[in-house]
Amino acid sequence: MAGEAPESTLTPVPLMQLSTGFWAFKTLAAATELDLFGLLESRDGLTSGELAGALAIAERPAEMLLTGCAALGLLEAKHGRYRPSPLASVFLIRGRPYYFGGFVEMLDRRLYAGWAHLVKAIRTNRPTTWDPGRQRSLFEGEDEAMLTTFWEAMHSLSTFTARALAEAVDFSPYERLLDLGGGSGAFDIELCRLYPHLRASVYDLPTVTPLAARKIAEAGLTSRVETLEGDFFAEPNLPGGHDCVLLSMILHDWSEHDDRQILRKCYEVLPSGGLLVVSELLVDDAKTGPPAAALMSLNMLIETVGGRNYTAAEYAAWLDETGFDRLRTVRFEAAGANGALLAYKP
């Protein structure tokens, strides 16, 4: 009835937060592109007027950028001078060991435009960041600078995910790890640091292994981590001699059919008692979340032909049908994954 107070206390505030989410990202992306955090660190903080002079811009946008980054927890202000927050100081200054800006740059330069055409991807069931009719994969035809940005981004994302995985899964019983599609070798570097007895092999395409070799050399682990060139679809067999196989952030790139092929090859190459670790951002079995996994799945819609983020139950069913036993799921929280399935070859 007219004049009655509404029963619901709902407000559009959550929708406002969802709708304007890109404002925060683009603020971070702009600051990263301008190397704002490195500049502020090198000058021991700047005022808006000093930043305007350093960047040769007007003071109005300089002040707005500083205020926006401070509101996001990326800067701290004292007496009108802005400095990087501890978070930005560790992860957003170029040249630092755990620089995360490469991931921000990759999202801004590659994925942001693809997400602008999400409806097209939904209607066509085709990626929007590359053309499957002209390329064999999302990497073919990409310029070298973009690929470098991509792999540097993945290295940063993977480093801390590897640490979370190492704390959740005990790798001490195993001596030789095969990291399938291991990219830059971030997982192998971190796992070998945490497990001094472990030796590892990074298996990936010839275009990727030189980056892994460089990262491994920088970490001082060339005596324990090797690179192996190959294509896990094209090669009939995977490299042998390993008692543990890792699939980290790999299976979400591919269709169920392709994933089953990969799991079969992993099963065949492992010895009896060998361990397979599938580490992913897992969608919950009810397929209602969590947000990171659900939205990453949509990212696979714009980036891949058949990939998506799967549930632990889906992976468990495929692993069981492949022949693995003693299946279990361990949960953890990291930027690149929220859990891992462990499966053993009888």
Which residues are catalytically annotated? Answer: 252
CB atoms within 10 A of CB 287: 14
Per DSSP bridges, beta strands 75-78 and 81-84 are antiparallel
Cβ atoms of 31 and 74 within 8 Å: the answer is: yes
| 179 DSSP β-pair partners | 202, 246
Measure Cα distances from 328 to 46, 311, 316 in Å.
52, 13, 8
Residue pair 153/105 in contact (Cβ under 8 Å)? The answer is yes
Report the distance separating Cα 72 and Cα 78, nearest Å: 16
Among candidate residues 143, 139, 182, the one with its CA nearest the CA of residue 159:
182
Alpha-carbon distance of 27 to 62, in angstroms, equals 12
- Residue 339 CB-density burial (10 A; 0-12 exposed, 13-18 middle, 19+ buried): buried
CB distance 265 to 232 below 8 Å: yes
The 3-class secondary structure across 15-31, one letter per residue, is: HHHHHCHHHHHHHHHHH
